[in-house]
Amino acid sequence: MSHAIYPKPGVLEIAPYVGGESQIEGIHDVVKLSSNENPFGPSDVVKDAIKKAALRLHRYPSTDHHALRSAIADVYKLDAERIICGCGSDEIITFLCQAYGGPGTEVIYTEHGFSMYRISALAAGSAPIEVDEHERTVDVDAILEAVTFRTRLVFIANPANPTGTMIGSNEVARLAAELPEHVLLVLDGAYAEFVEDYDGGARLVDKRENVIMIRTFSKIYGLGGLRIGWAYGPAHVIDALNRVRGPFNLSDLQMAAAEAAVRDTAYVDKCRNENARLRSWMAKALAELGVASDTSCANFILARFHDTGEADACEAHLRADGLLVRKVAGYKLPNCLRITVGDEASCRRVVHSIAGFKGQDL
């Protein structure tokens, strides 16, 4: 049957998002290291909060997310009035593109940047503009050169995914200061909690009218399955985003879990320390096997192989051993594999398997 019904320009240019795999046929004890999840899951207080919230599911949730925003503000020392919560930080990326993008506008992200920036820009009708990085690291000058009168948003993740690299706070501040007044800088801090003594850009947000920071409960908090994110920005931006946000975008269960999670700072500290310990152990072990990586600031390692063929062969070898890692050719890194830092046993299995692949017995 023929039809003359077409989505608006841009929509059919979207390559659907492909999530990390979780199953291998015929293998039962699969270790999933393809989605940067916290191997320990959420803390026990979060599970208790979810059980309690299960008793009131017939009630509509709060529309202003007041309790969750207050908890986030307490813990991170922020102004609760300038926080917005979303169904994952993905939804906040969508709000940003809906509110500021549209036909005739441009949205900037970088060469190896997170794929949701391009998807949301296209869905909003904006032109996605991809800027080169320098050695798998965001290049502030290249971004500034790419800005035009059409640019509305600049997305950078710091630390970045899938590279794991970071730029310094001076560089971020310089980018914010040198962007023209009509451009909003979005700092995606999905992995900020893995960096010791790092505020994700919160203090920069306080100083400026053109910076917003987005955060998630999907990574260090171990709640990827529940879909909760938040952002902290200037009052005028939070006001605009709230106008495109649906009133019941978060369920009571999501908010109860997130509130308990954010208040359990001891658990976050424990996960950060364990991640740092296993990450440096794994990076060093891989380097000794001839697999290089940039120093990662997040909960994964971007393992670099000699070429695409070697990366693909290693991925197949890991898979045969029941270990799922992420291919990142779609991020213009065909010779790399992104490996989430799992628990200690998983890290050891990865190193053991790659040693076998390299023909070296450990």
Ligand X SMILES: *Cc1c(COP(=O)(O)O)cnc(C)c1O
Cβ 122 to ligand X shortest distance, Å: 17
Residue with Cβ nearer ligand X (131 or 351): 131
Q: What is the DSSP letter of 359?
A: T
CA distance 166 to 297: 7
Number of residues that bind ligand X (CB under 6 A): 14
Cβ 87 to ligand X shortest distance, Å: 8
| Binding mask of the shown chain, residues 106 to 125, with x at each position contacting ligand X by CB under 6 A | --------x-----------
Structure tokens at 3: 């039809």
Residue with Cβ nearer ligand X (162 or 354): 162
Cβ 31 to ligand X shortest distance, Å: 19
Alpha helices in 59-200 (DSSP H): 66-76, 88-100, 115-124, 140-146, 169-178
Q: Using the rule CB under 6 A, is 218 a contact of ligand X? A: yes
Cβ 348 to ligand X shortest distance, Å: 25
34, 158, 216, 254: residue in contact with ligand X (rule CB under 6 A): 216
Cβ 241 to ligand X shortest distance, Å: 15
34, 43, 89, 105: residue in contact with ligand X (rule CB under 6 A): 89
Residue with Cβ nearer ligand X (162 or 349): 162
Q: Using the rule CB under 6 A, is 200 a contact of ligand X? A: no
Q: Using the rule CB under 6 A, is 88 a contact of ligand X? A: yes
The answer to whether 38 and 271 have CB atoms below 8 angstroms apart is yes
The answer to whether 156 and 186 have CB atoms below 8 angstroms apart is yes
Cβ 7 to ligand X shortest distance, Å: 23
Cβ 288 to ligand X shortest distance, Å: 28
Residue with Cβ nearer ligand X (232 or 357): 232
User: Which positions from 1 through 60 interact with ligand X, judged by CB under 6 A?
Assistant: 36
Residue with Cβ nearer ligand X (34 or 43): 34
Residue with Cβ nearer ligand X (175 or 285): 175
Cβ 162 to ligand X shortest distance, Å: 8
CA distance 219 to 300: 11
Cβ 349 to ligand X shortest distance, Å: 23
The answer to whether 78 and 234 have CB atoms below 8 angstroms apart is no
Specify the 3-state DSSP secondary structure of 261. helix
CA distance 157 to 138: 9
Q: Which of 226, 152, 232 is nearest to 189 (CA)?
A: 232
Cis peptide upstream of residue 61 (ω within 30 degrees of 0): no
User: Which positions from 136 through 165 interact with ligand X, judged by CB under 6 A?
Assistant: 157, 161
Half-sphere exposure of 326 (CA within 13 A, CB side): 23
Q: Which of 136, 137, 119 is nearest to 128 (CA)?
A: 119
**Residue 218: what residue type?**
S
Residue with Cβ nearer ligand X (34 or 218): 218
Angle made by CA atoms 278, 281, 286, in degrees to the nearest 5: 120
Residue with Cβ nearer ligand X (228 or 285): 228
Q: Which stretch binds ligand X (CB under 6 A): 9-17, 86-94, 197-205, 252-260?
A: 86-94
Q: Which stretch binds ligand X (CB under 6 A): 55-63, 165-173, 214-222, 230-238?
A: 214-222
For residue 74, give every residue at least 6 positions away whose Cβ sits within 8 Å of its Cβ, in sequence order, or none: 263
Structure tokens at 128: 């996605």
The answer to whether 103 and 125 have CB atoms below 8 angstroms apart is yes
Specify the 3-state DSSP secondary structure of 194. helix
Q: Using the rule CB under 6 A, is 90 a contact of ligand X? A: yes
Sites of contact with ligand X (CB under 6 A):
36, 88-90, 114, 157, 161, 188, 190, 216, 218-219, 224, 229
